[in-house]
Amino acid sequence: MRVAFIVEYDGTDYAGWQIQKNDVTVQQKIEEALLSLNKGHITVTGAGRTDSGVHAKGQCGHFDIDSDIPAEKFMFILNTRLPKDIRIRRTWQAENDFHSRFSAKGKRYIYRIFNAPYSSALMGRFTMHVPENLDIEKMQQAAEYIVGTHDFKAFCAQGSSVKTTVRTVNKVQVKKEDEIIEITVEGTGFLYNMVRIIAGTLIEVGKNKKTPLQVKEIIEGKTRKEAGMTADPQGLTMDEVFY
Amino acid sequence: MRVAFIVEYDGTDYAGWQIQKNDVTVQQKIEEALLSLNKGHITVTGAGRTDSGVHAKGQCGHFDIDSDIPAEKFMFILNTRLPKDIRIRRTWQAENDFHSRFSAKGKRYIYRIFNAPYSSALMGRFTMHVPENLDIEKMQQAAEYIVGTHDFKAFCAQGSSVKTTVRTVNKVQVKKEDEIIEITVEGTGFLYNMVRIIAGTLIEVGKNKKTPLQVKEIIEGKTRKEAGMTADPQGLTMDEVFY
């Protein structure tokens, strides 16, 4: 049967989602946990790769297993075999044609900035520290230009090979509560580092180093170096995958 | 001059606030950071002691130092000398009769519960995991009985010596957002372990092991063993000190 799952992880101590030769990854940890339940190796597929240090609250994945165990029970079984910074939130039996990556209709990411003269002792592992006071209204104005179907070449890590750099972003929302600024980005698909480059560009708008209108021009210009820096990995969380 | 400060810390790796003989504490780390600024040892006083593993967002403290450095600058100076899980949020010059403990008019604590069948990979270090579904409405009803001036002997760790166990609690609020239940407790003063015993008792109400009315009877009965367990330290954060 095909078992689908939702997994939450603190990415601080992992070299991202995808299996690597010499580094510990989240996919590897889940495959290792499955090994004790099955004679052979089981490959786990995720909805999206997350980079080293990036977190997930609602990464989705699936695997195939021959088992009499009801699919719902795998949550408990896997959690007893996984480290505390990787937690399965739900498992269920999926249709055989369900695919965590190809069936996904969209994703929500949240990028968190700690905006104060001091960094955060409590939220440091989940936020990027920006000491300069950011202008939230300007960031929200700039965010509006990002919404829509555009060629996001300027917001794609250089050197990544994709057929097309056109993507659809449905929502970019900038919200501040106490010292934490949350940038929520929803879209049907994302380029490599796209959300972190969006965050880095909005931070420059917040610092008044770029105007909101310049963000529109950056999209049109399709040149990576015109956009902002790639914001720190620890600020990013894959919040939810939509099906 | 007397310098007052607000400090945030992740208590996970500390044996609480107060200096101990063989353990690393937050007070010790701040005193060590001050050593490099002064010829002799400077003692730091905090508004309240926090136990091993308990966090603070707004612990307040003070120290006396002979220095030409403006008091506001100590925030930056101390933060460069402190570990990342201890962050000074503000420093200012206080009146000479200001005392972080004796001048305090009250404190706010927040106790966080992660209420889901799985624990949290992201918030595990800041929450107590309770897998059973808790009845928030009953917890809030029980909370109302705690508000007021009462003899809180039943909510005080046994063996602690205090002149009186009468305390005034101004607010107990139970709120749920997603999987996280926040119990906010404000009062003029607290007994040893009092907030964690309040949280432990409200958890039993949420599990329907105690009725809200029984909490009133527990207060009146003044017997520690009638109240609930002392909830885990990592769920507790000293949120703010009022002056």
Q: Is the pLDDT of residue A37 over 90?
A: no
For residue B156, the model assigns a pLDDT of 95
Q: Is the pLDDT of residue A201 over 90?
A: yes
Any alpha helices (H) in B17-57, and if so which ranges? 26-35
pLDDT tens by residue, chain B, 243 residues: 999 999 999 999 999 999 999 999 999 999 999 998 888 899 999 999 999 999 999 999 999 999 999 999 999 999 999 999 999 999 999 999 999 999 999 999 999 999 999 999 999 999 999 999 999 999 999 999 999 999 999 999 988 788 999 999 999 999 999 999 999 999 999 999 999 999 999 999 999 999 999 999 999 999 999 999 999 999 999 999 999
The reply to whether B126 touches chain A by the CB within 8 Å rule is: yes
Q: Tens digits of per-residue pLDDT, A124-171?
A: 999 999 999 999 999 999 999 999 999 999 999 988 788 999 999 999
Torsions phi, psi of A142, nearest 5?
A: -65, -40
For residue A158, the model assigns a pLDDT of 85
Q: Which of B227, B229, B60, B40 is nearest to B150 (CA)?
A: B227
Tell me the C-alpha distance between A193 and B71, whole Å: 42
For residue B169, the model assigns a pLDDT of 98
Q: Are A99 and A45 in contact (CB under 8 A)?
A: yes
Q: Which member of A84, A119, A122 has the closest CB to residue B121?
A: A84
Tell me the C-alpha distance between A19 and A9, whole Å: 15
**Cross-strand bridge partners of residue B228:** none
For residue B89, the model assigns a pLDDT of 98
Residues of A in contact with B55 (CB under 8 A): 122
The reply to whether A57 touches chain B by the CB within 8 Å rule is: yes
With CA atoms as reference, the chain B residue closest to A57 would be B122
Of the residues A74, A84, A118, A127, the best mutation for testing chain B's interface (the one with the most B CB atoms within 10 Å of its CB) is: A118
Catalytic residues of A, by residue number, are 51
Give the mean pLDDT of A104-127.
98
Confidence of residue A179 (pLDDT cuts 50, 70, 90): very high
For residue B37, the model assigns a pLDDT of 85
Percent of chain A with pLDDT over 70: 100
To the nearest whole angstrom, how far is the Cα of B66 from the nearest Cα of chain A?
A: 24
Asked whether the beta carbons of residue A8 and residue B120 sit closer than 8 angstroms, the reply is yes
pTM above 0.90, yes or no: yes
For residue A161, the model assigns a pLDDT of 82
**Residue A59 CA, distance from chain mean position:** 8
Give the mean pLDDT of A16-42.
93
For residue B87, the model assigns a pLDDT of 98
Confidence of residue A39 (pLDDT cuts 50, 70, 90): confident
Averaged confidence pLDDT in chain A: 96
Instruction: Indicate if the alpha-carbon torsion angle A76, A79, A84, A87 is positive or negative.
Output: negative
